[in-house]
A and B are shown apart, each in its own frame.
Chain A
Amino acid sequence: MNLKRNKESPESDELNGVSPFPDEVLERVLSLLKSHKDRSSVSLVCKEWYNAERWSRTHVFIGNCYSVSPEIVARRFPNIRSVTLKGKPRFSDFNLVPMNWGADVRSWLDVFATAYPFLEELRLKRMTITDESLESLGRKFPNFKALSLLSCDGFSTDGLGAIATHCKNLTQLDIQENGIDDLGGGWLSCFPENFTSLEILNFANLNSDVNFEALERLVSRCKSLKVLKVNKNIMLDQLQRLLVHAPRLMELGTGSFLPELTACQYAELESAFNNCKNLHTLSGLWDATTLYLPALYPACTSLTFLNLNDAALQSGELAKLLAHCPLLRRLWVLDTVEDRGLEAVGSSCPLLEELRVFPADPFDQDIVHGVTESGFIAVSYGCPKLHYVLYFCRQMTNAAVATIVQNCPDFTHFRLCIMDPGQPDYLTNEPMDEAFGAVVKTCTKLQRLAVSGLLTDLTFEYIGNYAKNLETLSVAFAGSGDWGMQCVLSGCPKLRKLEIRDCPFGNAALLSGLEKYESMRSLWMSACNVTMNGCRLLAREMPRLNVEVMKDEESEDSQADKVYVYRTVAGPRTDAPPFVLTL
């Protein structure tokens, strides 16, 4: 890099902290930095670099919307065009956080309206956004281009209509898995007839019908459309018509694959897929069966990401499909594919890096199906590059996990969910300690770990001793006492997020992490043994942390049922609802 060349600068300049470069040059150089971690590092070098960095930053990522206030952000970064905000604790996805908890983007948008009138992109995860906010996005930000909402709530399809109506330059509308009030599909018809800039459109998780003719016209006039994910109300013949208009799609989410076509229509569909040579991501496929899946095959040659979460395929169907996806790197499936399906994964996908297996029927106790440890083992033999796994199963053994990590030592994300809480190794009846011990000992690059099954303190000792790169840990129904959590807090230097539920960790454990929490994004503990007094003590000792407690109905006064601790420079929340007690 240029920086090293300037050795002829007088020592005194450097000692005085004056940068050898004019600010403009430094800013220009730093503007090339994209990673926010790099930018954070750069900003710590010296004052000049701090300033150069803040002026050159165009995208800000805020992992916890309450860790900082919008005013502080606006003051520090004057030129932001793109904002990513995350709000609620992750366990809100599983209904552990009551409604109206907060994380409303409104206060942010109010500040942005004056500070960043040229804001272009907004990506929200687990935030609340109202229709009014969506409308104001459309009206107050003339350059607004990209909206992505994941796991958000508070809005309805009317808000989407407002975006479609007002955002003349919209390129991305990505609506995923939100608690949206679906009032109908009319929002799509709000895109003006002269609107052509759309590149990404994802409404796969909306349930009501859009006007198909409007959609077809939209797709045909948006020549730059790269990503199209429709909902399951779009039928195959309609999909075929869309594909004809957009053969250059890179990511496709189909609608329903219900086999209702005539032979002629089927041929047209095949031909349409045949023309999609640029597809690298495929999803949707509701109701897909062996009957019509073959139509897809020609489009799968370049596929790198296949999301079959909505297609309850059987093992044979999956095997046949995978035979046509040699370049697959990421695969999401339902456990209807069973172990045999996973064997097919192992044999057909040598380049696989990520596998997620979701349960089709998480609550069905009496039927034994789904995947077991054998499926996982089969994948590990066939896919040595596997580094990300999310695996829901009903049985697992320590030996199996040991084999798996031996085959795939490069795991960065290992999320194993044995669905029956506290279930031991089903062959030996022992705790699953050794399984996770093997994971942390072997997988030195491990960043994210989710544990399950019957676990004693030993698991946490292992984690504390070996998981030196661990950043995120999720624990449920595990542990024997405070010691386990203490091991983790004292042993994992890079820990940023710790989320715990239903574990016997109490005040001693909570308080052992006093200094640690300031280096972490957040801590969540619910249904543990922490008391109000313990939380108060924590709050008193660490003023730069927000310690928030939510009590369940009918719990004893001293119990702190749900505890959420996070570092912040913004002080206690001003918008906390009554059930959130800030200590």
Chain B
Amino acid sequence: MEGVVGITGVGGVGGGGGGVSSGGSTSGSMSTVSKEDNLVMASEVSSYPDESELELGLGLSLGGGGGGGKAVTVSWGQFARILTAKDFPSVVSHCSASSSSSSPSSSSSSSLSKANFSAGTKRRAESVAAAASGVNQVVGWPPIRAYRMNSLVNQAKSPATGDFNSTVEKSKSKNSVVEKTNIASEKYNGNAKEKRHIRTSSFVKVNMDGKPIGRKVDLTAHNCYEALAQTLEDMFCKSTTFNGRRSSGGESDVMIGARRPSKLLDGSSEFVLTYEDKEGDWMLVGDVPWGMFLSSVKRLRIMRTADANGLAPRVQERNGKQRTKPI
């Protein structure tokens, strides 16, 4: 853990400071890293065997780790590459616990770090691999205005742990609105204050086993699992056989509605829909209330039922059962 200690010493200004942090000038990059980011990175960094990668990773990724939940990654000038929440999914969720700069070793942070140890390592490797190619490495490329870049970073799916750094605008926290978007028929109670916490449209990646190219789906455009599954079936339906059968269970909603319960959800097709939650665990889609799902889902995977054995017990149970409607 020496690496961590060393970096903690550099510590200093929270990565999320204001809208304008000192980017690019001389030794800027390291000193603008927040302590919390350093410590959070610890679990993953220490598992990373290559020392030079370690340093590189820290220099670069702290820009990204800090930037996952915040807007200022992009102004870290020369050294930092612009990463998004997706590069460090497990880290980002912890960065949000960085509101108290004085005690980065808060229990939530450390327990989460532990939980993510293995998952984090793998993802770290992936993201560094991604960084090794193409656009991700270059500062100021593609040439999109820094302001816009910040908006895009914040629009990218970031897990809502609610505890955002004070410098992250309130509008990014999505908890209070998530439930509202589902309930299309609920009367607006006229309280303007509650409307403040809007989550911008969130796209999550969806990959399907056997297909090299993934897609993205906008979760906020759906209000229930059926709708989501329907969209996914439409997206991936060309080469797969979902073979839905007509059923009268579908609810008609104001929002993008599902026409019938999805094969993906009831376990009767060859594929099953799973998701990775903010803790890095892969879960079957459909277990938790929709709103809770929205706030914890990081990405989706349409997995072969055979491979879903780790989650399999539920698949069998679900066979033929009607989905419970989300709250």
User: Using a CB–CB distance below 8 Å, which chain A residues touch chain B?
Assistant: 91, 93-100, 151, 153, 177-182, 205, 207-209, 212, 232-233, 235, 237-238, 256, 258-262, 265, 286-287, 289-291, 309-310, 312, 314, 358-369, 392, 417, 419-421, 450, 474, 476, 501-502, 552-553, 579
Contact = CB atoms under 8 A, between A and B. Distances in A.
A527 to B, nearest CB: 9
Contacts of B143: 91, 93-94, 417, 450, 474, 476
Given A94-B146, A361-B156, 15 more contacts: A91-B143, A94-B140, A94-B145, A95-B75, A95-B77, A96-B139, A179-B146, A182-B169, A262-B185, A312-B203, A362-B144, A417-B143, A421-B134, A421-B141, A579-B25
B218 A419 contact: no
B82 A151 contact: no
Contacts of A238: 192
28 contacts: A93-B145, A93-B146, A94-B145, A95-B139, A98-B24, A98-B25, A98-B77, A100-B25, A151-B145, A177-B147, A179-B19, A181-B20, A209-B170, A232-B200, A233-B196, A259-B255, A286-B198, A286-B200, A286-B201, A287-B201, A312-B203, A312-B218, A362-B152, A368-B213, A392-B144, A417-B142, A421-B141, A552-B78
A331 to B, nearest CB: 17
Interface stretch (B176-184, B261-269, B271-279, B307-315): B176-184
B20 A99 contact: yes
B201 A312 contact: yes
Q: Main SS of the interface on chain B?
A: loop
A291 B27 contact: no
B254 interface: yes
B181 A95 contact: no
A99 B23 contact: yes
A98 B84 CA distance: 22
Contacts of A260: 180-181, 188, 195
CB-based closest 3 A-B pairs: A94-B140, A98-B25, A177-B147
Contacts of A363: 82-84, 135-136
A26 B75 CA distance: 51
Given A361-B156, A363-B82, A368-B213, A95 B147 contact: no
B196 A209 contact: yes
Interface of B: 18-20, 22-28, 74-78, 82-84, 86, 130, 133-136, 138-149, 151-152, 155-156, 169-171, 177, 180-181, 184-185, 187-188, 192, 195-196, 198, 200-201, 203, 205, 213-216, 218, 220-221, 254-256
Contact of A365 (B23, B130, B254): B130
A95 B23 contact: yes
B198 A256 contact: yes
A495 to B, nearest CB: 19
Given A94-B146, A421-B138, A366 B214 contact: yes
Given A182-B19, A365-B130, A265 B188 contact: yes
A179 B20 contact: yes
A151 B221 contact: no
Contacts of A151: 145, 147
Nearest to B129: A365
A417 B143 CA distance: 8
A208 B168 CA distance: 10
A310 B28 CA distance: 31
Contact of A258 (B146, B169, B181): B181
A358 B196 contact: no
A359 B145 contact: no
Pick from A179, A232, A368, A421 the residue with the most CB of B within 10 Å.
A179
Contacts of B188: 237, 260-262, 265
A229 B319 CA distance: 51
Contact of A96 (B140, B149, B180): B140
A318 to B, nearest CB: 14
B20 A291 contact: no
A362 B74 CA distance: 13
Contacts of A179: 19-20, 75, 146-147
Contacts of B180: 260
Contact of B86 (A178, A310, A364, A474): A364
Contacts of A96: 24, 139-140
A363 B138 CA distance: 10
A369 B74 CA distance: 23
Nearest to A96: B140
A95 B140 contact: yes
A472 to B, nearest CB: 13
A309 B145 CA distance: 12
Nearest to A390: B143
A420 B134 contact: yes
Contact of B184 (A233, A259, A364, A553): A259
Nearest to A288: B201
Contacts of A419: 135, 142
A229 to B, nearest CB: 15
Contacts of B255: 259, 291
B26 A553 contact: yes
Nearest to B24: A98
Contacts of B75: 95, 99, 179
A359 B169 contact: no
Given A153-B20, A259-B184, A260-B181, A365 B142 contact: no
A476 B144 CA distance: 13
